[in-house]
């Protein structure tokens, strides 16, 4: 059905999709899997804290490479793509002269419900709840000129980083005082206790034990929304700028921008990441001072710069027929990004958690890339097979049907 026939917004047709966005989603899915594996194989709260000092040999090399090249760069890319999706929906509503806010509210509420179910019953490292809660703010910025999006997005991204930097400076001034040392020791002890409770619940507990633990861990993760929510929202606005400006649909017209991102942002981001690594290869949550906050600021800067560099190189490769054919293989996985994201959690928790096959903390770090490639390769094949018969992935179909308050035609023949 088209929007003209129904009189309402409807899901975007396959022929109307921007394939570059689907390819980027597929690329991001692989990076997110490789990033999240650390939190599947072991405690969620112990993941993403830097290089594990206990690792040696090949395990340490892989841990280092994942931290420098992958960690934080692909959820950043996924956040940009979420903002792009918002902008595409908004543009279609404007072009059709249709109401948008009601549909978008339903979309966000359905995503929030999916995120809650994912976080509590499957995996506590969920990002969907954060996305859904932050997405509602986008409506307030919709009437603004799109040229403001990039600057407002950067401001939102930088604000919590600057706050953490100031807190680190305060920590350096207060270090050694009884009150400050006591607070930091309590924070470190609480986090370590949470990690150990995750280890017990996920590694050897029942499904009920793991579910109760997920509920506690997800609640703690959401408590950080005041900081990471700003970061996600800033990325949403940046992603919306890429669509509203035409930079995604017409990348050849933005050659100077993408050249700057490829040859400027990416190398500069890598330098910032290496600087963060030199200052503090492992984030110690029981210590917070200017050195650690500087490392954090450099890491967050690197995440954005390297993510934009990756995006620019993918778009450049899509302009060359030989690379375009290779990268287009990722597009079906990107079209089913939500299904594949949830499927990664289902498969990995079944393999690693105690109520599944029980391989918790048993997969060596050096084997993570191979595991991720095999699992993601299977998802790519499954996505191709599924979309040869159906218009949407199964979770995408549910999301769209609830968003538009009407069951969407699923089989390709129904179009």
The pLDDT of residue 199 is 96
Q: Where are the domains of the chain?
A: 3-154+202-252+320-414
Q: What is the spatial distance between Cα 235 and Cα 161, in angstroms, rounded to a whole number?
A: 14
The 3-state DSSP class for residue 87 equals helix
CA distance 219 to 45: 12
Which position has the higher pLDDT, 95 or 362? 362
Q: pLDDT, tens digit, for every residue of 13-64?
A: 444 568 899 999 999 999 999 999 999 999 998 887 899 999 999 999 999 9
User: Residues of the chain with pLDDT > 90: what percent?
Assistant: 74
Can you tell me the mean pLDDT for 146-158? Answer: 95
- Predicted pLDDT of residue 17: 67
More confident site: 296 or 3: 296
Cβ 80 vs Cβ 312: under 8 Å: no
Residue 5 has pLDDT above 90, yes or no: no
pLDDT, the chain, mean:
91
> To 5 degrees, how large is the angle CA 3–CA 4–CA 7?
70
pLDDT of residue 97: 78
Query: What is the reported pTM?
Result: 0.92
Evaluate if residue 181 carries a pLDDT over 50.
yes
pLDDT given at position 353 = 98
In this predicted structure, the answer to whether residue 385 has a pLDDT above a threshold of 60 is yes
The secondary structure of 311-345 as a DSSP string is: HHHHHHHHTSHHHHHHHGGGHHHHHTHHHHHHHHH
| Residue 220 banded pLDDT, cuts 50, 70, 90 | confident
Rounded CA-CA distance 132/116 in Å is 10
- pLDDT higher than 80, residue 331: yes
The dihedral region occupied by 50, where left means phi > 0, alpha psi between -120 and 50, and beta the remainder, is left
Q: Which region among 196-200, 220-224, 278-282, 340-344 has the lowest average model confidence (pLDDT)?
A: 220-224
Q: What is the pLDDT of residues 182-209, one digit of tens each?
A: 888 888 888 889 899 999 999 999 999 9
Maximum separation of any 2 CA atoms in the chain, in Å: 71
Q: What is the pLDDT of residue 414?
A: 47
Give the per-residue pLDDT at 9: 46
> How do residues 304-316 score in pLDDT, each as one tens digit?
999 999 999 999 9
């Amino acid at each position: 059905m088209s929007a003209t026939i129904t009189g309402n917004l409807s899901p975007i047709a396959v022929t109307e999709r921007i394939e570059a966005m689907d390819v980027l989603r597929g690329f991001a899915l692989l990076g997110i899997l490789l990033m999240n594996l650390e939190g599947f194989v072991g405690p969620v709260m112990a993941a993403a804290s830097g290089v594990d000092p206990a690792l040696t040999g090949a395990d340490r090399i892989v841990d280092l490479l994942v931290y420098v090249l992958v960690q934080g760069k692909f959820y950043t890319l996924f956040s940009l793509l979420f903002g792009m999706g918002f902008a595409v929906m908004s543009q279609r509503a404007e072009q059709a002269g249709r109401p948008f806010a009601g549909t978008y509210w339903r979309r966000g509420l359905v995503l929030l419900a999916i995120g809650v179910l994912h976080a509590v019953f499957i995996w506590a490292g969920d990002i969907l709840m954060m996305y859904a809660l932050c997405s509602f703010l986008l409506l307030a910025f919709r009437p603004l000129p799109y040229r403001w999006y990039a600057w407002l997005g950067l401001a939102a991204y930088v604000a919590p980083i600057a706050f953490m930097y100031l807190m680190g400076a305060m920590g350096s001034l207060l270090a050694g005082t009884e009150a400050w040392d006591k607070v930091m020791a309590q924070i470190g002890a609480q986090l370590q206790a949470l990690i150990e409770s995750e280890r017990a619940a996920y590694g050897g507990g029942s499904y009920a034990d793991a579910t109760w633990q997920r509920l506690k861990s997800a609640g703690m993760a959401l408590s950080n929304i005041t900081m990471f929510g700003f970061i996600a929202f800033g990325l949403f606005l940046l992603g919306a700028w890429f669509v509203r400006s035409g930079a995604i649909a017409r990348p050849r017209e933005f050659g100077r921008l993408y050249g700057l991102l490829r040859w400027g942002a990416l190398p500069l981001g890598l330098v910032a990441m290496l600087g963060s690594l030199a200052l503090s290869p492992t984030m110690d949550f029981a210590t917070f001072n200017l050195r650690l906050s500087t490392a954090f600021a450099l890491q967050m800067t690197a995440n954005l710069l390297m993510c934009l560099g990756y995006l620019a190189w993918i778009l450049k490769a899509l302009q060359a027929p030989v690379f375009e054919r290779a990268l287009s293989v990722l597009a079906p996985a990107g079209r089913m990004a939500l299904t594949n994201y949830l499927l990664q959690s289902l498969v990995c928790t079944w393999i690693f958690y105690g109520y599944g096959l029980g391989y918790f903390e048993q997969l060596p770090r050096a084997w993570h890339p191979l595991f991720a490639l095999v699992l993601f390769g299977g998802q790519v094949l499954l996505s191709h097979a599924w979309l040869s018969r159906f218009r949407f992935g199964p979770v995408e179909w549910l999301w769209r049907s609830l968003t538009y308050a009407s069951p969407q035609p699923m089989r390709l023949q129904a179009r």
